[in-house]
Amino acid sequence: MQDIQGDDRTLEVLLSGPAFGIDYYQREYRWKRKQLQELVADLCGQFLQTWAPDSRAPLEQQSNYFLGSIVVSKAGDGRNIIDGQQRITTLTLLLIYLNHLQKDSGRKVRKIESLVFDEDPGGPKFKLNIPERNDCMKALLHGESYNPEGRSASVRNLVERYEDLGEDLGKIFPGDLADDEDTLEMFIWWIIRKVKVIGITAQDDSDAYTIFETMNDRGLSLTPTEMLRGYLLAHITDPEKRQQADGQIRSCLARFAEYGTSTEADFFKAWLRSQYAEKIRERKKEAQNEDFELIGTEYHRWIRNNAQQVGLHDPDDFYQFVMKDMCFFAERYLDLLKASETREKGLESVRYNADAGFTLQHPVILSAVNANDDPASARARMGMVADFIDIWLNVRFWNNKLNSYSNMEYAAFTVIRTVRGKTPEELRDVLRQRLEEEFKEISFEAEVRLTTLFSKAIHRQLARFTDWLDQHAGEPGRYEDYIVRSGKNAYEIEHILAGNFEMFREEFANKVVFEEARNSIGGLLLLPKKQNASLGSKSYGEKLPSYLRANKLAQSLHPDFYRNNPGVLQAIRTHSLPFQPHETFNGDSITQRSELYRALAAMIWSPERLCIDRPRRTIPAGQ
């Protein structure tokens, strides 16, 4: 092995010089919304510890952020990333997003552009130069729309993660940083010069990969879960009990592993936050991390430092903590994981909240139960809190309130603190009160329109409306089908009005007014990808027969729908929903359909849902 160089580098230094590439054996870009959300929250939280607009602390006095190590191999005049591709790719997306945020600022940090895309002897080149991704990255850099359909998993993920950063009401990047020019400018400089990595450079790929394998297979530091396991077992002095506890921990971890490598850490964070977090960091200069943040980053150390608060006083406490508390919450967490993938009876809202990207739902839901609950009672309470979250998120959506992690973190923490230890009746009351405190009136009157960054949220709304109608027509709900947005079985948002303004020139004053009306939620449906493509630019009269062969929400435009659906008609009468057929479709029709969708939203996300008793499924003893 030749000489190895390792040093700490800022993002500015790391992304200067030759471009980075990746070798053929590298995996796809796989980061999901959760990993992106955690990184952005960590970066913003660290920045705000030493910066406030009124203080204007110089950059050199602000805190650093350590992003870990990356392994790089020299490849001629270039550099190949052996380990660290996920982080560098994500940071590049963040730089592109920040560059768009500052485009109207008078104090634009021009340095940011050269860290993404810069001159090169062979012509302009992305600093993360991966040919199959470059057309996508170019579109994102220039603010152009890009359809990733049919492209690699990496490209599809790039588009989704970039949308996550700026999706209107569900965006990850915090609005208070984006909206203040001084803060945004300083945050960009902080990202460039205060975010650091340890760069390990080898002279060839063989040496670099050997380093990578050694770091990951031999001598790698213990994980927080392994350290927590060791701490708990060390305090159980009876050898037989220690062995039992060790077996239980290993059994739980094995079951978590079926859901992915990060699941065990996510469980401990959710469980401990739900039951024990008493404080959260204030968003002000020099504010310190509190229980909520410390559990999220070092739960093993937090347990050790707060053993008395957790109730760990003697060996039997440690034994019971594993055998009773951990086992109980592990089962409930596994229930939530399963419900996040399929609509479990009584926990349907868990799936809805997962699709909305609300990663804080697990600690909020678990806060409503404790280890002394019987499983059926716990499940009913979990369902009630999941319903509350579903209502909460969607009422916020219809009232133009942000549902981003940074906007919801403190609010979620206050809910956690509020619902602990409550009886079912008390739980219902405090959840309704929480809605009343945030909304003087539960309203769905806001104008909702489709935009590029708003498409996922609109898609979810239409999926829920369509599923509700299907079920009331006596058919199995097909929400799991409707929510799919890519692939051959995808459903796409269909504009009822064709996109040709010339067809509607007599009705709409100009093209802008036409597009606003056409993109109103009342002018939208969900259709299978193939069917949507086949309709193309057809007129409404040509589309209407096809709608009658589609899902119930599309069928409701056709007069024949109201002749053969007694279940739906009964539901329409019961809930006084303003359904009506449309033999022609124009601006007034869109207004009427928008009112219909508002009525559906008000019914589906009514706080009265919290008064409905949740199913109490029989669960075998010991689970």
Asked if residue 413 has pLDDT above 90, the reply is yes
Q: Is 587's pLDDT higher than 90?
A: yes
Following CA atoms 376, 381, 383, 388 in sequence, which dihedral angle do they give, to the nearest 10 degrees?
A: 180
Measuring CA to CA, which residue among 165, 169, 77 is closest to residue 121?
77
> What backbone phi and psi angles, to 5 degrees, belong to 201?
-115, 125
Are 389 and 349 in contact by the 8 Å Cβ rule? The answer is: yes
- For 178-228, the pLDDT digits (tens) are 778 888 899 999 999 999 998 888 776 666 666 666 655 544 456 889 889
Residue 562, C-beta contacts closer than 8 angstroms, at least 6 positions apart = 569, 579, 581
Highest mean pLDDT, choosing among 50-64, 118-132, 583-597: 583-597
What's the pLDDT band for 27 if we cut at 50, 70, 90? low
Task: State the pLDDT confidence band at 390, using cuts at 50, 70 and 90.
Answer: very high
Query: Stretch 246-253: mean pLDDT, rounded?
Result: 91
CB pairs under 8 A, 24+ apart, for 281-284? 281/45, 283/48, 283/176, 283/410, 284/48, 284/52
Decide: residue 380, CB within 10 A, 0-12 exposed, 13-18 middle, 19+ buried: buried
Rounded Cα distance, 616 and 623, in Å: 14
Q: Comparing C-alpha atoms, which of 83, 101, 105 is closest to residue 40? A: 101
Tokens 């409404």 — which residue? 540
Q: Where are the domains of the chain?
A: 5-217, 223-341, 345-358+367-444, 452-604
pTM of the model: 0.78
HEC secondary structure over 251-291:
HHHHHHHCCCCCHHHHHHHHHHHHHHCCCCCCCCCCCCCCH
| Maximum Cα interatomic distance, the chain, rounded to a whole number of Å | 85
pLDDT in tens, 476-497: 889 999 999 988 899 999 999 9
DSSP 448-462: -B--GGGHHHHHHHH
Cα radius of gyration (the chain): 27
Give Cβ neighbours of residue 354 (< 8 Å, ≥ 6 apart): 340, 341, 361
Mean pLDDT lowest among 66-80, 507-521, 590-604: 66-80
Torsion angle, alpha carbons of 280, 283, 285, 290, to 10 = 10
Rounded CA separation 207/211 (Å): 6
Q: Residue 6's beta-bridge partner residues?
A: 200
Please, which pLDDT band fits residue 615 given cuts at 50, 70 and 90?
Answer: low
- Rounded to the nearest 10 degrees, what angle do helices 291-305 and 33-50 cross at? 90
Closest CA to 480 of 444, 520, 526, 524: 526
| DSSP category for residue 321 | I
Mean pLDDT taken over the chain: 88
Tell me: pLDDT of 23 over 70.
no
What number is the average pLDDT over the span 79-104? 89
Per-residue pLDDT at 1 exceeds 60: no
Q: What pLDDT score was predicted for residue 371?
A: 95
Cβ atoms of 434 and 417 closer than 8 Å: no
